[in-house]
Structure 1
Amino acid sequence: MGKILKVSNVNDYGSYLGCTSRHPLVCVIDYAEVSPIRHSLNNYSVYGLFLRDDADVDLDYGCGKYDYNKGTLLCVAPGQIGGKEDNGERVAITGWALLFHPDLLHGFPLERHIKEYSFFDYRVNEALHMTDEEHDIFVLLMRQIREELGKKQDELQNAILVNYIELVLNFCQRFYNRQFVTRKVENSDILVRFDRLLRDYFEDELQLTLGLPTVQYCADKLCMSPNYFGDVIKKTTGGSASSHIRRFVTQLAKNMLAAGENVSQVSDHLGFEYSQHFSRMFKKQEGITPSEYCQRLRT
């Protein structure tokens, strides 16, 4: 991998694009004003939201690539690498970027719950495709934040900026929720593939060497980030991906118990290290122990 731009603070990226700094912890960039730009592969120590309106551009992100469409939003968090390596060419792009440093959030409630915005950990091919209305809302908020950044700093400015950022994130969450709903057919297909993956896992007896299937394992096999996968399953079923796995395993256990296997055999067969762990999971799911379930079958 070639040269990586270290974005330790928001103005590292702004300076690279020739954008003047207005605040040490927040930066809003209108790409139309700095275009054409050179690409950069960035190592982020800040949060970033990037709205791209221009023609398709291949971007690297983690292990994947993504073709940007008009009105596509990508969110990154500290510790992530994203962008496209500088190849010397200058490209004309339009769109907006909002970067903010974690230090801005110190002392504000958002510092505690920013991790709840799971889209910061989505892969690039899970980016948000915005409707025209969503796009306009996002751009309006970028303009308002930039207007605030142009004002003289006072003791309330950071609180106002954090409130704006939280508003942006809440709108982004709403937009993602909409995307999950409008992709119901695609999401139900993911659920079918999830169930097929679980069936194959136990039919191939992978549980005997790997133990119970994890959300991470399933997400990897379905080519999704764990967060995006979890959000799709939650929107589709109303429950978490891990609870879906537990329900699937419990149903397998009930089938085995009904076929005459004892609790210890079922526990071993399903890949539990200890039978008490199996019994605990079963009781949590069914409200009774496996032994009580067997007694009910006999009566």
Structure 2
Amino acid sequence: MSGAFSPGMRILFFGMECDFSLPSFTALLQNGFEVCAVVIPADGDTLPGIHVAPAIVPKVAPRSRRGSLPMFTTATASLTQMAWAHAIPVWQVRELKDPETLATLAAYQPDILCVACFSRIIPRALLELPRLGGINVHPSLLPANRGPLPLFWTLRAGEEQTGVTIHRLTTALDSGPILAQETIAVPEGVRYGELEVLCAGVGARLLAQTVGALASGQCHARAQDEALSSYHPYPGDNDYVVNAREWGARRLYNFIRGVASVERPVEVLHGNGYLLAVDAVSYSLKGAVDIGDTVQQDGHGEATIICHDGCVRVYYI
């Protein structure tokens, strides 16, 4: 649904410099919606040309770089650069509840807040600024997999499908009424970043459709079923540890393939100790397997891990 159906619709966009935020921001622009400002968290150093809120600085427009960026190339354009290319101000926020932050953002007279990957919970005072409240793009089939990194837990659980949910923002994390939802099959052997990009594309389309539906009064919400809800925090060290005797070959292959790296290997426990897997090459299902010898190493950085229903070929360090 195009923004042409909602004249004067003004959006405050909350996101981060990541592949998940940029497609949603771009979709809003491509559908003709007016993004009046972009808000990013001030977790690191202040970037040149970006306002800082809260801070005692004059409100000045960022330098325009119109025409210097393609409309949609995540490999070359950041969220900040894309905003600047469209003469949209960007604000780095250190404290969302600060009166200066609230006053600065209220001055834009937004109709709605749109969030696609933001590292902080939006406080009630901000949610009450726009007449349509706030909505969020979440990469899971809510109420399942609430929390900051749902795709990690999708891969760890060996789930064959995930999805994207557009929901209303409340002060309870990822718990607001569902406005739109779409299921996505998890491809065999998908990398985490690839799955995130896949979800980001679907989420961007759903976000633009939902904003249009809200503007025209044609969007219907449904409450989340708390009995079906699950929550996961940021993964810790123990969440990268698996037991080869307890996992199936396909699940182990997809988890290692999805999240392992040299910087963050998956620790595979086996009968002879443990192995640090950095990538998965292949797997095979062989039915019942004798797990007396659970790892076969070739001495060249490759090994075969024996699971209860087959085996997985991996690279290790």
Larger radius of gyration: 1
Which structure's residues are more often helix, by fraction?
Answer: 1
What TM-score do the two structures reach when normalised by structure 2?
A: 0.25
What TM-score do the two structures reach when normalised by structure 1?
A: 0.26
